[in-house]
Amino acid sequence: MLYRILTSFLLAASCFAAYAPDEVTNLPGIPSGAPPFKQYSGYLNATGDKLFHYWFVESQSNPSVDPVVLWLNGGPGCSSLDGYLSELGPFHVNNDGATLYLNDYSWNKQANVIFLESPAGVGFSYSPSGDIKTDDDQVADDNFQALQNFFVKFPEYLNNTFYLTGESYGGIYIPTLALKIMKGNTSIKLEGFAIGNGLLNVTSNYDSAIYFGYYHALFDQDVWNDLQTYCCENGVCQFFQPTDQQCKDACDIAESFIYRSGINTYNIYQDCAGGIPTQSKRYQFDLWSALGIHYKTPHPKHFEKAQTNSSLRSTHYASHGFMTSKVGDPECSDSTAVTTYLGRADVRLALHIPASVQPWEVCSDAVNGNYTMQYQSVKPLIESMLTKYRGLFYNGDADIVCNFLGAQWFVKDLHQAEKTSRRPWKVGTQVAGFAHEFLNVTAATVKGSGHLVPMWKPAEAYHMITQFLNNQPL
């Protein structure tokens, strides 16, 4: 008995020593009256010499039994700390870039949440050797290694259920990581995954954007008629990588209205913060990953050449006034406050970031430019996952970059048995969107939201994720 007690004590001490140095004890700008939950910031070993920065917040409810949720932002090359500080984390940054305020709809009210900066070179994550060249499979290996390292630091959470969540290019990150967990014979209790406005299939993402543009009055009947005439046959349309030149020209016109007219493609009903910006990193990265094959060269710099070529193809195109439009318009969100906050020396110190680590930025040019996309569709991966895990695909219905229609096509193509027909779901007395439930997966829209659902519709996002974590219908 004495041996068992001593062993338990030593194990507890070693566990405490593993994560105690990472505890965030004095976060600058924290509001008075902040709830007394613990949070940790430090590094997890990935493969090779790579070190991934994490920020872990314990549940405000009952951390010992509440689920553990991993959150991944997309890009590829964009930081999950933006997810913490402007979407679903417990504290958000005020416009002064110095103070924080409480998020009433923080996901850690009901869950323990890990925000992981991935891959190396993103945010505060780094490789001492400077090697940040990577691809989808390597990132999955790195994320899997980092996740296992997390549970070495925090072994008490191995008994909790675990969920993978994220948005945008997280549509690639999440299933590739889930398959590693599924096949890795680990003790991680993965129960499900939730993907918001995710890139799931490059072809259908592009094709559905053309339909979305027409259905939402971004271009007129004349353009739509040309698309139907030159790109469609027997009701089947091929807008992505067409071989017919007239179809290409029609697609160029549609693209010009969708991506280069100056609307906020992340949320077509919202204005652009600060007016129409140019060459936004996040917008370039998302557009490359969403339409990378169409533009052929996997780097945002190619968009300038694509714009020049497409502007010369059609007199119809010129007649609509887009000859001088700039590719990269618009991203329309503003990360200045978050960037300012995470650039402060006292904040870096509180988060245990070494002085040698690069300055934080919302998206990394270097990572994106050295990234190879390998998966044009994650359908086979999702099909494997649904044999064991529950899934939720949710989409803000005003986002065109990774739009709801493409996600619905994707889910329908999984051929899951229907549980309930499409119906409205509510938060309080208001319709929050529409949900279609199948055997192991739900497809949901969030009414009036854009690409970043927890930012634009926080109450709805919180309701949706808590229902999912509790295995309850919307």
Catalytic positions: 168, 399, 451
How wide is the angle at C-alpha 154 spanned by C-alphas 150 and 156, nearest 5°?
135
Burial code (b: 16+ CB inside 10 Å, e: under 16) for 317-344 equals beebebeebebbbbbbbebebbbbbbee
Sign of CA dihedral 333, 265, 457, 469: negative
CA distances from 73 to 117, 165, 245, 321 (A): 8, 9, 37, 35
42, β-bridge pairs: 54
Residues in Cβ contact with 367 at an 8 Å cutoff, skipping those fewer than 6 apart = 75, 76, 77, 119, 120, 121, 122, 132, 134
Q: How far apart are CA 426 and CA 473, in angstroms?
A: 11
List the structure tokens of 63: 């951390």
